[in-house]
Structure 1
Amino acid sequence: MEIRHATNPTDVKTYTTERLRKDFLIENLFQTGKVTMVYTHYDRMIVGGAVPGNEPLEIEAGDALKTDYFLERREIGLLNVGGGDAVITADGESYELGKLDALYVGKGVRQLIVSSKDQANPARIYFCSSLAHATLPTRKVLISEANPLHLGSIETSNERTIYQYIHADGVQSCQLMLGVTRFKPGSVWNTMPAHLHDRRMEAYLYFDMKEETRVFHFMGEPSETRHLVVGNEQAIISPPWSIHSGAGTSSYTFCWAMAGENYTFKDMDVVPMADLK
Protein backbone atom coordinates (compact mmCIF):
# COMPACT_ATOMS: atom_id res chain seq x y z
CA MET A 1 0.00 0.00 0.00
CA GLU A 2 1.39 3.38 -1.02
CA ILE A 3 1.12 6.14 1.60
CA ARG A 4 0.55 9.76 0.58
CA HIS A 5 0.65 12.54 3.15
CA ALA A 6 -1.48 15.65 3.18
CA THR A 7 -0.09 18.86 1.65
CA ASN A 8 -0.26 22.53 2.52
CA PRO A 9 -2.04 24.68 -0.11
CA THR A 10 0.57 27.41 0.30
CA ASP A 11 3.32 24.92 -0.56
CA VAL A 12 1.39 23.49 -3.51
CA LYS A 13 1.62 26.89 -5.24
CA THR A 14 5.32 26.15 -5.81
CA TYR A 15 4.94 22.58 -7.13
CA THR A 16 6.18 21.52 -10.53
CA THR A 17 4.05 19.40 -12.82
CA GLU A 18 6.04 16.34 -11.74
CA ARG A 19 5.41 17.04 -8.05
CA LEU A 20 1.69 17.68 -8.60
CA ARG A 21 1.35 14.35 -10.39
CA LYS A 22 3.36 12.54 -7.72
CA ASP A 23 1.17 13.83 -4.88
CA PHE A 24 -2.32 13.90 -6.43
CA LEU A 25 -2.46 11.55 -9.46
CA ILE A 26 -2.75 7.76 -9.21
CA GLU A 27 -1.71 6.20 -12.51
CA ASN A 28 -1.54 2.39 -12.21
CA LEU A 29 -4.48 1.19 -10.14
CA PHE A 30 -5.53 -1.67 -12.40
CA GLN A 31 -2.99 -4.46 -12.75
CA THR A 32 -4.05 -8.00 -13.60
CA GLY A 33 -3.76 -10.37 -10.68
CA LYS A 34 -3.16 -7.60 -8.14
CA VAL A 35 -4.87 -5.38 -5.59
CA THR A 36 -3.35 -1.89 -5.70
CA MET A 37 -4.03 0.64 -2.94
CA VAL A 38 -3.12 4.23 -2.07
CA TYR A 39 -3.65 5.49 1.47
CA THR A 40 -4.12 9.26 1.63
CA HIS A 41 -3.93 11.21 4.87
CA TYR A 42 -6.78 13.37 3.58
CA ASP A 43 -9.56 11.97 5.77
CA ARG A 44 -7.58 8.69 5.70
CA MET A 45 -9.32 7.45 2.57
CA ILE A 46 -7.92 4.42 0.75
CA VAL A 47 -8.28 4.39 -3.05
CA GLY A 48 -7.81 1.04 -4.74
CA GLY A 49 -8.15 -1.10 -7.83
CA ALA A 50 -8.29 -4.86 -8.37
CA VAL A 51 -8.21 -7.00 -11.51
CA PRO A 52 -8.77 -10.64 -10.49
CA GLY A 53 -7.56 -12.91 -13.30
CA ASN A 54 -7.14 -16.64 -12.84
CA GLU A 55 -7.36 -16.45 -9.05
CA PRO A 56 -9.55 -14.50 -6.59
CA LEU A 57 -7.93 -11.61 -4.76
CA GLU A 58 -8.36 -10.68 -1.12
CA ILE A 59 -8.45 -7.07 0.04
CA GLU A 60 -6.22 -7.22 3.09
CA ALA A 61 -5.00 -4.77 5.72
CA GLY A 62 -1.34 -5.66 5.39
CA ASP A 63 1.04 -3.94 7.75
CA ALA A 64 0.04 -0.37 6.90
CA LEU A 65 -3.24 -0.28 8.85
CA LYS A 66 -1.98 -2.04 12.01
CA THR A 67 -5.32 -3.87 12.25
CA ASP A 68 -6.20 -7.56 12.13
CA TYR A 69 -8.27 -7.19 8.96
CA PHE A 70 -9.09 -4.49 6.41
CA LEU A 71 -12.59 -3.56 7.57
CA GLU A 72 -11.90 -3.76 11.30
CA ARG A 73 -12.37 0.02 11.57
CA ARG A 74 -13.39 0.83 8.00
CA GLU A 75 -16.19 0.71 5.43
CA ILE A 76 -15.80 0.34 1.68
CA GLY A 77 -17.59 1.01 -1.59
CA LEU A 78 -16.72 -1.12 -4.63
CA LEU A 79 -17.65 -0.38 -8.24
CA ASN A 80 -17.25 -2.54 -11.35
CA VAL A 81 -15.85 -0.10 -13.92
CA GLY A 82 -15.30 -2.47 -16.83
CA GLY A 83 -14.27 -5.83 -18.19
CA GLY A 84 -16.54 -8.72 -17.23
CA ASP A 85 -18.83 -9.24 -14.28
CA ALA A 86 -17.32 -9.19 -10.80
CA VAL A 87 -18.10 -11.40 -7.81
CA ILE A 88 -17.49 -9.86 -4.39
CA THR A 89 -17.57 -12.21 -1.41
CA ALA A 90 -17.97 -10.65 2.04
CA ASP A 91 -17.62 -13.19 4.89
CA GLY A 92 -18.93 -15.95 2.64
CA GLU A 93 -21.84 -14.01 1.10
CA SER A 94 -21.38 -13.42 -2.64
CA TYR A 95 -22.62 -10.49 -4.72
CA GLU A 96 -22.40 -10.30 -8.51
CA LEU A 97 -21.71 -6.89 -10.01
CA GLY A 98 -22.22 -6.02 -13.65
CA LYS A 99 -20.64 -2.91 -15.13
CA LEU A 100 -21.41 0.18 -13.02
CA ASP A 101 -23.03 -1.87 -10.26
CA ALA A 102 -21.73 -1.09 -6.77
CA LEU A 103 -21.47 -2.74 -3.36
CA TYR A 104 -21.24 -1.18 0.08
CA VAL A 105 -19.58 -3.32 2.76
CA GLY A 106 -19.67 -2.13 6.34
CA LYS A 107 -17.31 -2.21 9.27
CA GLY A 108 -16.62 -5.61 10.83
CA VAL A 109 -16.57 -7.84 7.74
CA ARG A 110 -13.44 -9.90 8.24
CA GLN A 111 -12.82 -11.29 4.75
CA LEU A 112 -13.40 -9.48 1.48
CA ILE A 113 -12.59 -11.37 -1.72
CA VAL A 114 -12.94 -10.15 -5.30
CA SER A 115 -13.07 -12.42 -8.32
CA SER A 116 -14.10 -12.41 -11.97
CA LYS A 117 -17.11 -14.38 -13.13
CA ASP A 118 -15.31 -15.10 -16.39
CA GLN A 119 -11.56 -15.46 -15.92
CA ALA A 120 -11.02 -14.85 -19.63
CA ASN A 121 -12.69 -11.43 -19.23
CA PRO A 122 -11.47 -10.09 -15.87
CA ALA A 123 -13.52 -7.54 -13.98
CA ARG A 124 -11.98 -4.18 -13.18
CA ILE A 125 -12.99 -3.24 -9.66
CA TYR A 126 -12.48 0.21 -8.21
CA PHE A 127 -12.93 0.86 -4.50
CA CYS A 128 -12.75 3.60 -1.91
CA SER A 129 -12.61 2.99 1.84
CA SER A 130 -13.03 5.42 4.74
CA LEU A 131 -13.00 5.15 8.52
CA ALA A 132 -16.22 3.94 10.15
CA HIS A 133 -17.66 4.31 13.64
CA ALA A 134 -20.62 1.93 13.35
CA THR A 135 -21.59 -1.32 11.67
CA LEU A 136 -24.02 -0.97 8.76
CA PRO A 137 -25.39 -3.73 6.51
CA THR A 138 -23.79 -4.76 3.23
CA ARG A 139 -25.86 -3.48 0.30
CA LYS A 140 -25.63 -4.05 -3.42
CA VAL A 141 -26.97 -1.35 -5.73
CA LEU A 142 -27.44 -1.68 -9.48
CA ILE A 143 -26.87 1.36 -11.64
CA SER A 144 -30.58 1.17 -12.48
CA GLU A 145 -31.30 1.58 -8.75
CA ALA A 146 -28.96 4.53 -8.20
CA ASN A 147 -30.55 7.96 -7.83
CA PRO A 148 -30.12 9.83 -11.14
CA LEU A 149 -29.68 13.61 -11.31
CA HIS A 150 -29.84 15.03 -14.84
CA LEU A 151 -27.84 18.24 -15.04
CA GLY A 152 -26.35 20.67 -17.53
CA SER A 153 -27.05 21.17 -21.22
CA ILE A 154 -25.42 20.60 -24.58
CA GLU A 155 -25.23 24.39 -25.01
CA THR A 156 -22.80 24.61 -22.09
CA SER A 157 -21.02 21.33 -22.98
CA ASN A 158 -21.91 19.74 -19.63
CA GLU A 159 -25.02 17.60 -20.16
CA ARG A 160 -24.54 14.74 -17.71
CA THR A 161 -26.23 12.35 -15.33
CA ILE A 162 -25.02 11.94 -11.76
CA TYR A 163 -25.83 8.52 -10.30
CA GLN A 164 -25.83 8.52 -6.49
CA TYR A 165 -25.20 5.10 -4.92
CA ILE A 166 -23.94 5.56 -1.35
CA HIS A 167 -25.49 8.70 0.14
CA ALA A 168 -27.90 9.95 2.78
CA ASP A 169 -31.03 9.04 0.80
CA GLY A 170 -29.70 5.78 -0.64
CA VAL A 171 -27.31 3.11 0.63
CA GLN A 172 -26.35 4.17 4.15
CA SER A 173 -22.78 4.51 5.39
CA CYS A 174 -20.93 6.16 8.25
CA GLN A 175 -19.23 8.83 6.15
CA LEU A 176 -18.45 7.43 2.71
CA MET A 177 -20.40 8.81 -0.27
CA LEU A 178 -19.95 7.36 -3.75
CA GLY A 179 -21.45 7.80 -7.18
CA VAL A 180 -20.81 7.98 -10.92
CA THR A 181 -21.12 10.85 -13.38
CA ARG A 182 -21.63 10.05 -17.08
CA PHE A 183 -21.46 12.62 -19.86
CA LYS A 184 -23.63 12.75 -22.94
CA PRO A 185 -21.76 12.78 -26.29
CA GLY A 186 -20.48 16.26 -27.04
CA SER A 187 -20.35 17.28 -23.37
CA VAL A 188 -16.99 17.50 -21.61
CA TRP A 189 -17.16 20.00 -18.70
CA ASN A 190 -17.50 19.05 -15.06
CA THR A 191 -18.34 21.45 -13.64
CA MET A 192 -18.39 25.21 -13.95
CA PRO A 193 -18.73 27.23 -11.84
CA ALA A 194 -16.31 25.17 -9.77
CA HIS A 195 -16.87 24.53 -6.07
CA LEU A 196 -15.14 23.64 -2.82
CA HIS A 197 -16.22 21.62 0.21
CA ASP A 198 -13.65 22.27 2.88
CA ARG A 199 -15.27 19.77 5.24
CA ARG A 200 -14.47 16.68 3.15
CA MET A 201 -12.02 15.34 0.60
CA GLU A 202 -12.89 13.68 -2.68
CA ALA A 203 -11.36 11.05 -4.94
CA TYR A 204 -12.04 10.82 -8.68
CA LEU A 205 -11.54 7.93 -11.08
CA TYR A 206 -11.78 8.86 -14.76
CA PHE A 207 -12.72 5.94 -17.01
CA ASP A 208 -14.57 4.85 -20.16
CA MET A 209 -12.10 6.99 -22.10
CA LYS A 210 -10.47 6.13 -25.40
CA GLU A 211 -6.73 5.62 -25.27
CA GLU A 212 -5.97 8.80 -27.18
CA THR A 213 -8.24 11.07 -25.13
CA ARG A 214 -7.41 13.02 -21.98
CA VAL A 215 -9.13 14.95 -19.22
CA PHE A 216 -7.64 18.20 -17.97
CA HIS A 217 -8.39 18.07 -14.24
CA PHE A 218 -8.30 21.48 -12.58
CA MET A 219 -7.27 21.75 -8.95
CA GLY A 220 -5.84 24.21 -6.45
CA GLU A 221 -7.19 27.18 -4.55
CA PRO A 222 -9.54 29.35 -6.64
CA SER A 223 -6.94 32.11 -6.82
CA GLU A 224 -4.10 29.67 -7.69
CA THR A 225 -5.46 26.99 -10.02
CA ARG A 226 -3.33 24.21 -11.47
CA HIS A 227 -4.13 21.31 -13.78
CA LEU A 228 -3.29 17.64 -14.22
CA VAL A 229 -3.55 15.78 -17.54
CA VAL A 230 -5.33 12.51 -16.82
CA GLY A 231 -5.68 9.34 -18.90
CA ASN A 232 -8.13 6.46 -18.81
CA GLU A 233 -8.54 4.65 -15.45
CA GLN A 234 -6.37 7.15 -13.60
CA ALA A 235 -7.48 8.61 -10.28
CA ILE A 236 -7.15 11.94 -8.53
CA ILE A 237 -6.86 12.76 -4.82
CA SER A 238 -8.68 16.06 -4.32
CA PRO A 239 -7.89 17.92 -1.07
CA PRO A 240 -10.68 19.74 0.81
CA TRP A 241 -9.13 23.12 0.00
CA SER A 242 -9.00 22.46 -3.76
CA ILE A 243 -11.47 22.95 -6.56
CA HIS A 244 -12.09 19.78 -8.60
CA SER A 245 -13.22 20.44 -12.10
CA GLY A 246 -12.38 18.98 -15.47
CA ALA A 247 -12.68 19.20 -19.22
CA GLY A 248 -12.08 16.32 -21.60
CA THR A 249 -11.02 16.04 -25.21
CA SER A 250 -14.08 13.80 -25.52
CA SER A 251 -16.94 12.70 -23.26
CA TYR A 252 -16.01 10.47 -20.33
CA THR A 253 -17.25 8.91 -17.10
CA PHE A 254 -15.93 9.30 -13.57
CA CYS A 255 -16.53 7.82 -10.16
CA TRP A 256 -16.53 10.28 -7.27
CA ALA A 257 -16.17 9.30 -3.63
CA MET A 258 -16.11 11.58 -0.60
CA ALA A 259 -15.33 11.29 3.10
CA GLY A 260 -15.01 13.81 5.88
CA GLU A 261 -16.82 15.93 8.40
CA ASN A 262 -20.37 15.95 7.08
CA TYR A 263 -22.76 13.70 5.16
CA THR A 264 -24.63 15.78 2.64
CA PHE A 265 -24.17 15.86 -1.11
CA LYS A 266 -25.22 19.53 -1.22
CA ASP A 267 -22.36 20.85 0.91
CA MET A 268 -20.71 22.91 -1.83
CA ASP A 269 -19.21 26.39 -1.69
CA VAL A 270 -19.60 27.60 -5.26
CA VAL A 271 -16.73 29.70 -6.59
CA PRO A 272 -17.83 32.58 -8.87
CA MET A 273 -16.22 32.44 -12.29
CA ALA A 274 -14.75 35.91 -11.74
CA ASP A 275 -12.79 34.61 -8.73
CA LEU A 276 -10.97 31.86 -10.64
CA LYS A 277 -7.40 32.60 -11.63
Structure 2
Amino acid sequence: MLTVETRHAIHPDHARAMDTAALRSHFLGTGLFATGEIRLLYTHYDRFVLGGAVPGDAPLVLDVVAETKTPSFLDRREMGIVNIGDTGTVTAGGESYEMGKGDVLYLGMGTGPVTFAGAGRFYITSTPAHASYPSRLITVEDAVKVQMGAAETSNKRTIKQFIHPTVMESCQLILGYTALEDGSVWNTMPAHTHDRRMEAYLYWGMAPEARVLHLMGEPSETRHLFVANEEAVVSPSWSIHSGAGIGEYTFIWAMAGDNVDYTDMDFHQPADLA
Protein backbone atom coordinates (compact mmCIF):
# COMPACT_ATOMS: atom_id res chain seq x y z
CA MET A 1 0.00 0.00 0.00
CA LEU A 2 1.31 3.42 -1.01
CA THR A 3 0.07 6.78 0.26
CA VAL A 4 1.52 10.17 -0.70
CA GLU A 5 0.85 13.51 0.96
CA THR A 6 1.87 16.76 -0.74
CA ARG A 7 3.34 19.61 1.28
CA HIS A 8 3.42 23.01 -0.44
CA ALA A 9 6.16 25.55 0.15
CA ILE A 10 5.43 28.20 2.80
CA HIS A 11 6.67 31.79 2.72
CA PRO A 12 8.22 32.99 6.01
CA ASP A 13 5.63 35.81 6.21
CA HIS A 14 2.93 33.15 6.25
CA ALA A 15 4.74 31.06 8.88
CA ARG A 16 4.89 34.01 11.27
CA ALA A 17 1.11 33.98 11.62
CA MET A 18 0.70 30.22 12.12
CA ASP A 19 -0.56 28.72 15.34
CA THR A 20 0.77 25.42 16.71
CA ALA A 21 -1.66 23.26 14.73
CA ALA A 22 -0.78 25.00 11.46
CA LEU A 23 2.97 24.72 12.09
CA ARG A 24 2.65 21.00 12.76
CA SER A 25 0.43 20.51 9.71
CA HIS A 26 2.91 22.13 7.34
CA PHE A 27 6.32 21.22 8.78
CA LEU A 28 5.97 18.01 10.83
CA GLY A 29 5.72 14.51 9.37
CA THR A 30 3.95 12.02 11.64
CA GLY A 31 2.82 8.42 11.19
CA LEU A 32 5.42 7.72 8.50
CA PHE A 33 6.11 4.13 9.57
CA ALA A 34 3.19 1.71 9.33
CA THR A 35 3.57 -2.05 8.91
CA GLY A 36 2.70 -3.20 5.41
CA GLU A 37 2.78 0.32 3.95
CA ILE A 38 4.93 2.89 2.17
CA ARG A 39 4.05 6.43 3.23
CA LEU A 40 5.63 9.43 1.51
CA LEU A 41 5.62 13.21 1.87
CA TYR A 42 6.13 14.95 -1.48
CA THR A 43 7.34 18.47 -0.68
CA HIS A 44 7.67 21.53 -2.88
CA TYR A 45 10.97 22.39 -1.20
CA ASP A 46 13.40 21.42 -3.96
CA ARG A 47 10.92 18.57 -4.75
CA PHE A 48 12.33 16.66 -1.79
CA VAL A 49 10.49 13.44 -0.88
CA LEU A 50 10.70 11.67 2.46
CA GLY A 51 8.84 8.77 3.98
CA GLY A 52 8.89 5.30 5.46
CA ALA A 53 8.53 1.70 4.34
CA VAL A 54 7.84 -1.14 6.79
CA PRO A 55 7.50 -4.49 4.95
CA GLY A 56 6.35 -6.71 7.81
CA ASP A 57 5.33 -10.14 6.54
CA ALA A 58 5.36 -9.28 2.83
CA PRO A 59 7.70 -7.27 0.57
CA LEU A 60 6.73 -3.76 -0.51
CA VAL A 61 7.48 -2.34 -3.96
CA LEU A 62 7.98 1.35 -4.66
CA ASP A 63 7.58 2.01 -8.37
CA VAL A 64 4.90 4.36 -9.75
CA VAL A 65 4.29 7.57 -7.78
CA ALA A 66 1.69 9.67 -9.55
CA GLU A 67 3.06 12.95 -8.19
CA THR A 68 6.30 12.64 -10.22
CA LYS A 69 4.52 11.99 -13.57
CA THR A 70 7.20 9.48 -14.59
CA PRO A 71 6.74 5.77 -15.39
CA SER A 72 8.86 4.81 -12.35
CA PHE A 73 9.74 6.87 -9.29
CA LEU A 74 13.50 6.86 -9.88
CA ASP A 75 13.38 7.66 -13.60
CA ARG A 76 14.49 11.23 -12.87
CA ARG A 77 15.43 10.89 -9.20
CA GLU A 78 18.05 9.55 -6.81
CA MET A 79 17.29 8.00 -3.43
CA GLY A 80 18.86 7.56 -0.01
CA ILE A 81 17.51 4.86 2.33
CA VAL A 82 18.36 4.46 6.03
CA ASN A 83 17.40 1.31 7.91
CA ILE A 84 16.34 2.34 11.43
CA GLY A 85 15.01 -1.12 12.30
CA ASP A 86 16.31 -4.68 12.37
CA THR A 87 18.05 -6.33 9.42
CA GLY A 88 16.21 -6.01 6.13
CA THR A 89 16.79 -6.23 2.39
CA VAL A 90 16.36 -3.71 -0.40
CA THR A 91 16.35 -4.96 -3.99
CA ALA A 92 16.80 -2.55 -6.91
CA GLY A 93 18.48 -2.52 -10.30
CA GLY A 94 18.96 -6.28 -10.24
CA GLU A 95 20.92 -6.18 -6.95
CA SER A 96 19.91 -7.08 -3.40
CA TYR A 97 21.39 -5.20 -0.46
CA GLU A 98 21.21 -6.52 3.09
CA MET A 99 20.98 -3.58 5.48
CA GLY A 100 21.69 -3.67 9.18
CA LYS A 101 20.46 -1.05 11.60
CA GLY A 102 21.95 2.32 10.72
CA ASP A 103 23.19 1.33 7.25
CA VAL A 104 22.48 3.64 4.30
CA LEU A 105 21.78 2.71 0.68
CA TYR A 106 22.17 5.14 -2.23
CA LEU A 107 20.23 4.37 -5.43
CA GLY A 108 21.06 6.30 -8.58
CA MET A 109 18.71 7.76 -11.16
CA GLY A 110 17.13 5.14 -13.41
CA THR A 111 17.49 2.26 -10.97
CA GLY A 112 13.87 1.19 -11.44
CA PRO A 113 11.44 -0.29 -8.92
CA VAL A 114 12.62 -0.66 -5.32
CA THR A 115 11.57 -3.64 -3.18
CA PHE A 116 11.73 -3.56 0.63
CA ALA A 117 11.70 -6.81 2.62
CA GLY A 118 12.58 -8.27 5.99
CA ALA A 119 12.48 -6.76 9.46
CA GLY A 120 13.79 -3.33 8.46
CA ARG A 121 12.14 0.02 9.06
CA PHE A 122 13.29 1.98 6.04
CA TYR A 123 13.49 5.77 6.01
CA ILE A 124 13.28 7.01 2.42
CA THR A 125 14.66 10.29 1.04
CA SER A 126 14.69 11.32 -2.61
CA THR A 127 15.56 14.32 -4.77
CA PRO A 128 15.46 15.09 -8.49
CA ALA A 129 18.64 14.06 -10.32
CA HIS A 130 20.39 15.19 -13.49
CA ALA A 131 22.78 12.25 -13.89
CA SER A 132 23.00 8.60 -12.89
CA TYR A 133 25.60 7.62 -10.30
CA PRO A 134 26.33 4.06 -9.16
CA SER A 135 24.18 2.64 -6.41
CA ARG A 136 26.09 1.92 -3.23
CA LEU A 137 25.55 0.42 0.22
CA ILE A 138 27.34 2.43 2.90
CA THR A 139 27.50 0.60 6.21
CA VAL A 140 27.92 2.27 9.58
CA GLU A 141 31.59 1.22 9.47
CA ASP A 142 32.06 2.89 6.05
CA ALA A 143 30.73 6.27 7.16
CA VAL A 144 33.04 9.22 7.81
CA LYS A 145 32.78 10.13 11.47
CA VAL A 146 33.26 13.68 12.76
CA GLN A 147 33.33 14.56 16.46
CA MET A 148 31.87 17.95 17.37
CA GLY A 149 30.76 19.93 20.41
CA ALA A 150 31.67 19.59 24.05
CA ALA A 151 30.15 18.32 27.28
CA GLU A 152 30.42 21.81 28.75
CA THR A 153 27.96 23.14 26.16
CA SER A 154 25.74 20.02 26.26
CA ASN A 155 26.26 19.26 22.57
CA LYS A 156 29.00 16.66 22.33
CA ARG A 157 28.02 14.60 19.32
CA THR A 158 29.20 12.35 16.50
CA ILE A 159 28.26 13.23 12.93
CA LYS A 160 28.24 10.26 10.55
CA GLN A 161 28.45 11.19 6.87
CA PHE A 162 27.11 8.67 4.33
CA ILE A 163 25.82 10.23 1.09
CA HIS A 164 28.35 13.02 1.22
CA PRO A 165 31.24 14.32 -0.95
CA THR A 166 33.77 12.86 1.52
CA VAL A 167 32.31 9.39 0.91
CA MET A 168 30.74 9.24 -2.56
CA GLU A 169 29.30 11.27 -5.42
CA SER A 170 25.63 12.12 -5.85
CA CYS A 171 23.65 14.73 -7.78
CA GLN A 172 22.22 16.86 -4.98
CA LEU A 173 21.19 14.54 -2.15
CA ILE A 174 23.35 14.75 0.98
CA LEU A 175 22.57 12.50 3.94
CA GLY A 176 23.95 11.45 7.28
CA TYR A 177 22.98 11.36 10.91
CA THR A 178 24.07 12.76 14.23
CA ALA A 179 24.10 10.95 17.58
CA LEU A 180 24.33 12.80 20.88
CA GLU A 181 26.71 11.65 23.62
CA ASP A 182 25.35 10.77 27.07
CA GLY A 183 24.47 13.96 28.92
CA SER A 184 24.32 16.11 25.78
CA VAL A 185 20.99 17.38 24.52
CA TRP A 186 21.60 20.14 21.94
CA ASN A 187 21.89 18.83 18.39
CA THR A 188 23.01 22.15 16.88
CA MET A 189 23.89 25.38 18.64
CA PRO A 190 24.60 28.00 17.46
CA ALA A 191 21.76 27.58 15.02
CA HIS A 192 22.21 28.14 11.30
CA THR A 193 20.40 28.56 8.02
CA HIS A 194 21.51 27.76 4.47
CA ASP A 195 19.63 29.80 1.91
CA ARG A 196 20.81 27.60 -0.95
CA ARG A 197 19.45 24.31 0.42
CA MET A 198 16.43 22.90 2.23
CA GLU A 199 16.81 20.19 4.84
CA ALA A 200 14.76 17.47 6.48
CA TYR A 201 15.25 15.77 9.83
CA LEU A 202 14.06 12.41 11.11
CA TYR A 203 14.37 11.89 14.86
CA TRP A 204 14.78 8.28 15.99
CA GLY A 205 16.21 6.06 18.72
CA MET A 206 14.05 7.83 21.31
CA ALA A 207 12.00 6.40 24.16
CA PRO A 208 8.24 6.53 23.46
CA GLU A 209 7.68 9.15 26.13
CA ALA A 210 10.63 11.35 25.09
CA ARG A 211 10.41 14.45 22.93
CA VAL A 212 12.78 16.77 21.09
CA LEU A 213 12.08 20.49 21.21
CA HIS A 214 12.86 21.41 17.59
CA LEU A 215 13.46 25.10 16.98
CA MET A 216 12.51 26.54 13.60
CA GLY A 217 11.53 29.83 11.96
CA GLU A 218 13.43 32.92 10.94
CA PRO A 219 16.21 33.88 13.38
CA SER A 220 14.20 36.94 14.42
CA GLU A 221 10.89 35.01 14.53
CA THR A 222 11.60 31.60 16.04
CA ARG A 223 8.95 28.94 16.53
CA HIS A 224 9.07 25.42 17.94
CA LEU A 225 7.76 21.90 17.42
CA PHE A 226 7.66 19.08 19.96
CA VAL A 227 8.78 15.99 18.03
CA ALA A 228 8.36 12.33 18.99
CA ASN A 229 10.30 9.25 17.93
CA GLU A 230 10.27 8.52 14.18
CA GLU A 231 8.76 11.89 13.33
CA ALA A 232 10.25 14.18 10.68
CA VAL A 233 10.63 17.93 10.28
CA VAL A 234 10.70 19.67 6.90
CA SER A 235 13.01 22.67 7.22
CA PRO A 236 12.81 25.43 4.57
CA SER A 237 15.95 27.30 3.56
CA TRP A 238 14.83 30.40 5.50
CA SER A 239 14.40 28.51 8.77
CA ILE A 240 16.88 27.78 11.51
CA HIS A 241 17.02 24.19 12.71
CA SER A 242 18.23 23.37 16.16
CA GLY A 243 16.87 21.44 19.07
CA ALA A 244 17.25 19.85 22.48
CA GLY A 245 15.95 16.47 23.55
CA ILE A 246 14.84 14.53 26.60
CA GLY A 247 17.11 11.52 26.83
CA GLU A 248 18.92 9.66 24.05
CA TYR A 249 18.15 10.46 20.41
CA THR A 250 19.66 10.51 16.94
CA PHE A 251 18.58 12.59 13.98
CA ILE A 252 18.98 11.87 10.29
CA TRP A 253 19.67 14.97 8.20
CA ALA A 254 19.17 15.10 4.47
CA MET A 255 19.57 18.10 2.19
CA ALA A 256 18.88 19.18 -1.37
CA GLY A 257 19.45 22.38 -3.30
CA ASP A 258 22.01 24.32 -5.28
CA ASN A 259 25.17 22.58 -4.07
CA VAL A 260 26.59 19.69 -2.05
CA ASP A 261 28.84 21.82 0.17
CA TYR A 262 28.01 20.60 3.67
CA THR A 263 29.71 23.63 5.25
CA ASP A 264 27.68 26.15 3.24
CA MET A 265 25.73 27.64 6.14
CA ASP A 266 25.08 30.96 7.85
CA PHE A 267 25.37 30.85 11.64
CA HIS A 268 23.10 32.75 14.02
CA GLN A 269 24.43 33.20 17.54
CA PRO A 270 22.09 32.66 20.52
CA ALA A 271 22.15 36.37 21.34
CA ASP A 272 20.75 37.12 17.87
CA LEU A 273 17.74 34.81 18.15
CA ALA A 274 14.31 36.05 19.10
Question: Following the alignment from structure 1 to structure 2, what is the Cα–Cα distance between the partners of residues 155 and 251?
Answer: 17
**SS of 1:22 mapped into structure 2:** helix
Alignment of 1:130-169 (within 5 A): 130-169=127-166
Matched, 1:47 2:75: no
- Equivalent position of 1:113 in the other structure: 115
Once the two structures are superposed, residues 245-275 of structure 1 have per-residue CA deviations (whole angstroms, 9 ceiling, x without a partner) of 0100112101000000111110010012221
Give the % identical residues: 53
**SS of 2:171 mapped into structure 1:** coil
Question: Following the alignment from structure 2 to structure 1, what is the Cα–Cα distance between the partners of residues 235 and 60?
Answer: 28
**SS of 1:190 mapped into structure 2:** coil
Alignment-mate amino acid for residue 53 of structure 1: G
1:104 and 1:171 in contact (8 A); partners too:
no
- Equivalent position of 1:248 in the other structure: 245
**SS of 2:22 mapped into structure 1:** helix
Displaced runs of 4+ in structure 1, greater than 4 A? none
Question: Following the alignment from structure 1 to structure 2, what is the Cα–Cα distance between the partners of residues 12 and 267?
Answer: 24
Question: Following the alignment from structure 2 to structure 1, what is the Cα–Cα distance between the partners of residues 260 and 65?
Answer: 29
Matched, 1:127 2:110: no
Q: 1:18 aligns with which of 21, 27, 46?
A: 21
Q: 2:102 aligns with which of 85, 89, 100?
A: 100
**SS of 1:217 mapped into structure 2:** strand
Question: Following the alignment from structure 1 to structure 2, what is the Cα–Cα distance between the partners of residues 207 and 169?
Answer: 24
Q: CA deviation at 1:227?
A: 0.1
Question: Following the alignment from structure 1 to structure 2, what is the Cα–Cα distance between the partners of residues 113 and 200?
Answer: 29
Question: Following the alignment from structure 1 to structure 2, what is the Cα–Cα distance between the partners of residues 9 and 241?
Answer: 7
- Equivalent position of 2:267 in the other structure: 270
Alignment-mate amino acid for residue 52 of structure 2: G
Alignment-mate amino acid for residue 239 of structure 2: S
Question: Following the alignment from structure 2 to structure 1, what is the Cα–Cα distance between the partners of residues 202 and 74?
Answer: 22
Question: Following the alignment from structure 1 to structure 2, what is the Cα–Cα distance between the partners of residues 97 and 22?
Answer: 32
- Equivalent position of 1:189 in the other structure: 186
- Equivalent position of 1:119 in the other structure: none
Question: TM-score, normalised on structure 1?
Answer: 0.96
Matched, 1:177 2:180: no
Matched, 1:66 2:69: yes
- Equivalent position of 2:9 in the other structure: 6
Question: Following the alignment from structure 1 to structure 2, what is the Cα–Cα distance between the partners of residues 198 and 61?
Answer: 32
* Structure 2: segments with no counterpart, 5+ residues: none
Question: Following the alignment from structure 2 to structure 1, what is the Cα–Cα distance between the partners of residues 174 and 197?
Answer: 10
Q: 2:89 aligns with which of 84, 87, 90?
A: 87
Question: Following the alignment from structure 1 to structure 2, what is the Cα–Cα distance between the partners of residues 153 and 26?
Answer: 30
Q: CA deviation at 1:123?
A: 1.1
Question: TM-score, normalised on structure 2?
Answer: 0.98
Q: CA deviation at 1:168?
A: 1.1
Question: Following the alignment from structure 1 to structure 2, what is the Cα–Cα distance between the partners of residues 45 and 64?
Answer: 12
